[in-house]
Chains A and B, each alone.
Chain A
Amino acid sequence: MDDQIQNANSGISRVLVVDDEPVARQQLVFQLAQLNHQVTAVASSADAQDILTREGSEAFDCLITDCWMPGSTGLDLLLWLRQHDLTLASIVISQSTDKDLIKQSFRGGASDFLNKPVSAEELGVAMKRTIQSTHRRRDHAATGSEVKQAGLVQRRMNNLGLAGELPTSLKICYYPHHDAGGDSVAFFSLDETRILVVVADVSGHSLKSAFISAYFQGVLRGMVELGVSMTSILNRFNRFLTHEWLESNEDAGTGQNGDGVSVDHDHDSSPEITSLAVCSALIDLSAGSVSLLNSGFPIPNRVDGNGRPWPCGVVGGYPIGWFDPNPLSELTITADPSDYLVLWTDGLEDFAHQLGIGEWSLAFKILQVKEKRRTPDWLKGTPDDVLMVVIGLNKESKEITRFPVMREIYHRGQIDQIDELQETWRRNLAFAFPQLEVSRLFDILLCTREGVLNGLLHGCPLPSDRCELVMIFNSAVEELQIEITDSGPGHHFDPETCEGGEFRAQHRGLMLIRGLPDRVEQNSKGAAIQMVFLLSPKPEVLNL
């Protein structure tokens, strides 16, 4: 038996096996031949690189490599492969169950990790999955240029300068992670005072997703111009995704719903699943109202003239394409001309989670980005496309001066977690205001801690009571406003007349709150505290 190359020609897919140990290598050759694969086996990473270079990596459908080999290791081979071919999927095998090794393998690009000795059954399952992965990657690579083109068209569509035609102000922040995706914004001026804004997010990032996104926008525009209601449009598109699209999709093999049956929506790679999260806002400027229709989209927020966020609803329904019929979440709210509506896709929420911060501090920072054509470095690590839309409710308001940085709601049981909560505030503030002086940050954290503790200890006697923390930045005066509100009755004493030593000892937190901020206001007998801190150095003004 040749130590360098052994061939067992009997199959459909071609597999390259790399293992320095002759018995284990031959064992794999036997197993793979029985699975009807054509096998080439070599004893080192160097030999594998030679063959992949000489014959071309596209000649193989799967690479199986041992991890620990003399000289160049299996992980070194994966790194080399990533530089030469991103489509050939690989399996790492090892006797070690070391979690670090498994992690390194997956980071190195392995599709699977198997423990030696490998059973024929688990090898068969892993091979099937890995070969499918190779074929899928190659299909994607083949359509890569088309996907890029589709992505460019999407970006142009999302940044069309039509906002000037609307009787209101509109700001779109779009940072795609993939070449093409399904995030889109469409806006229609229905008459002089009514505007319709539709934000949508199609599942997946393939050419198919881009096509569905474009098709939805086309259907939407056509039907809106014909005067069809948004409810009818969404119901019509839901039927399309749950029936017609599936029937015409040759890949549809499993699981998709037809009559109220749910499907597995967690696997983006499933070719048969296509869904669409949509939120539409019909803004009536003369009536001062906004009618929202939500279908699986993150909850939109109204931000009032003081910069305070108000979530519009508590549930967002299900994405279009999940169920037929699909109940839509409907809500109509009143709005002042000084208000604005903020909508973001789940890509922003995922990115905030990845950064360990809240959505509002990320939204705040995104709004501060001046240069729209170039994505800042800190926004390049997004796990998904990020789209945020801010709609002013009157045409004159070109500049956002007050915007939320954080909104959190706590219950009494979280008193014990005060240190963790403080660390969360620190992360959010450090992210939103990277230039903030440490001493000022410390003052803010200290006062917030005392305020929240006060709210939880004295203002939340019942399990259902809540303490709300809101931080708002006012760019016109460079002030950070912190509001802490609880649902309790407030204190029973008059703080203006209680200045003695005993009062100080019992209410040290309150004394801090009265001493450190630039301004403090208490309402409802202390159940609502508002603290204002001047920030230095000054953050930039936000332009809408």
Chain B
Amino acid sequence: MPERHAQPIRNVENGVLALDYPVGLESAGGIPAQYVTLSRLFILHAPQSMRSLELAVAARCADAAARCAHSLQGAAAAIGGQRLASTAHRLTEAARLQLNRIEPNQIGPDWTEIDVARDQLHGELQELIELLRQTIQTLQT
């Protein structure tokens, strides 16, 4: 979504931070150099997890979708990506409910909700990666 990147990224939305740097720094032991390492790992691996998630959702494979979203959630939480972690958690739970669905008519989240969460996750991941790049640049200068 390049048009969104043209706008300044809003770090706080509905009270949730896209990137909570102090939390991320703490999880890196309070050492900025270690935070940079974790952020680079995230930038390197998260897009692949996102692609796997999109494929799983497209294939309506709830098990794989839940696992990929769960993985993204853990990675985002480790670097302080609160908003992405929250959306990934929502998608994980929705996919798990879908997985445990017994009756086709059972009330609960359906694939439409998962599709919406996936789109939201996609945008939030782009934002988070951009914020991380800016943070790394700041830390290195």
Q: Which residues of A contact B (CB under 8 A)?
A: 1, 20-24, 26-27, 30-31, 34, 66, 68, 70, 95-96, 116-117, 119-120
Q: Please give, as numbers and ranges, the residues of chain A lying within 8 Å of B133 by CB-CB distance.
A: none
Interface centre among A23, A27, A116 (most CB of B within 10 A): A23
A-B contact pairs, 6 of them (CB 8 A): A23-B38, A24-B74, A96-B70, A116-B77, A116-B78, A117-B27
CB-defined contacts of B67 to chain A, threshold 8 Å = 68, 70
Top-7 shortest CB links A-B = A23-B75, A24-B74, A27-B78, A117-B77, A23-B78, A30-B34, A21-B74
| A30-B28 Cα distance, complex, nearest whole Å | 7
Question: Main secondary structure on chain B at its contact with chain A?
Answer: helix
Give Cα A116 to B29, complex, Å: 15
Which residue of the partner chain B has the closest CB to A70?
B67
Any A CB within 8 A of the CB of B89: yes
Residues of B within 8 A of A120 (CB): 26, 29
List the B side residues contacting A31 at CB < 8 Å.
27, 29
| Residues of chain A lying within 8 A (CB to CB) of residue B75 | 21-24
User: Can you name the residue of chain B whose Cβ is closest to the Cβ of A68?
Assistant: B70
A residues near B120, Cβ cutoff 8 Å: none
Rounded to whole Å, the gap between the CB of B21 and the closest CB of chain A is 14
Cβ contact within 8 Å between A23 and B41: yes
Q: In whole Å, how far is B18's beta carbon from the nearest beta carbon of chain A?
A: 16
Q: Which of B27, B34, B38, B77 has the most CB of A within 10 A?
A: B27
Contact residues in A for B46 (Cβ distance below 8 Å):
23
Query: Considering the chains assembled together, what is the distance between the CA atoms of A244 and B31 in angstroms?
Result: 50
Taking a contact as CB atoms closer than 8 A, the residue among A21, A27, A95, A96 that contacts B28 in the complex is A27
Tell me, in angstroms, the Cα distance from A34 to B28 when the chains sit together.
10
Residues of B within 8 A of A20 (CB): 71
Q: How far is the CA of A120 from the CA of B41 in the complex (A)?
A: 20
Nearest Cβ in chain B — how far from A372, in angstroms?
50
* Alpha-carbon separation in the docked complex, A79 to B44 (Å): 33
Q: Considering the chains assembled together, what is the distance between the CA atoms of A136 and B10 in angstroms?
A: 52
A119 to B31, CA, bound (A): 14
B98: interface (CB < 8 Å): no
Contacts of B26 in A (CB 8 A): 119-120
In the bound complex, residues from chain A placing their C-beta under 8 Å from that of B134 are: none
Q: Check B5 for interface membership: any CB of A closer than 8 A.
A: no
Tally of contact residues, B, Cβ under 8 A: 23
Our count of residue pairs bridging A and B at CB distance below 8 angstroms stands at 60
B70 and A27: CB pair below 8 A?
Answer: no
> How far is A26 from B74 in the complex, measured between Cα atoms in Å?
12
What separation, in Å, do the CA atoms of A22 and B74 have in the docked complex? 10
- Complex Cα spacing A27 to B30, Å: 11
Partner of B29, one of A22, A30, A66: A30
Closest A residue, CB atoms, query B42 = A23
In the complex, B45 has a CB within 8 A of chain A: yes
A residues within 8 A CB of B28?
A: 27, 30
For the complex, give the distance between the alpha carbons of A23 and B71 in Å. Answer: 10
A26 touches B38 (CB 8 A): yes
Using an 8 Å CB-CB cutoff, how does the interface string of B37-78 with A read, 1 for contact, 0 for none?
110011011100000000000000000000100110111011
Given contacts A21-B75, A116-B74, A117-B78, contact A27 B45 (CB under 8 A): no
Residue of A27, A34, A66, A120 with most chain B CB atoms under a 10 A cut-off: A27
| Chain A: minimal CB distance from B19 (Å) | 14
Tell me the smallest distance from the CB of A392 to a CB of chain B, in Å.
60
| Contact assessment for B41 and A26 in the assembled complex, using a CB-CB cutoff below 8 Å | yes
Least CB distance from A177 to B in Å reads: 38
Residues of B within 8 A of A26 (CB): 37-38, 41
For the complex with contacts A30-B38, A34-B29, A96-B70, 20 further pairs of A-B residues with Cβ separation under 8 Å are A21-B71, A21-B74, A21-B75, A22-B75, A23-B41, A23-B74, A23-B75, A23-B78, A26-B37, A27-B38, A68-B67, A95-B74, A95-B77, A95-B89, A116-B77, A116-B78, A117-B74, A117-B77, A119-B26, A120-B26
Contact status A24-B78, CB under 8 Å? yes
Q: Mark each residue of chain B from 2 to 29: 1 if its CB lies under 8 Å from any CB of chain A, else 0.
A: 0000000000000000000000001111
A26 CA / B29 CA spacing, docked (Å) = 11
Kindly name the residue among A22, A66, A70 whose own CB sees the greatest number of chain B CB atoms within 10 A: A22
Q: Please, what's the 1-or-0 string for B88-103, where 1 marks a CB less than 8 Å from any CB in chain A?
A: 0100000000000000
| Cα distance A116–B34 in the bound complex, in angstroms | 18
Measured CB to CB, the nearest residue on chain A to B43 is: A23
A167: min CB distance to chain B, Å: 69
In the complex, the answer to whether B73 meets A23 with C-beta atoms within 8 Å is: no
CB atoms of B29 and A23 under 8 A apart: no
CA distance A68 to B28 in the complex (A): 22
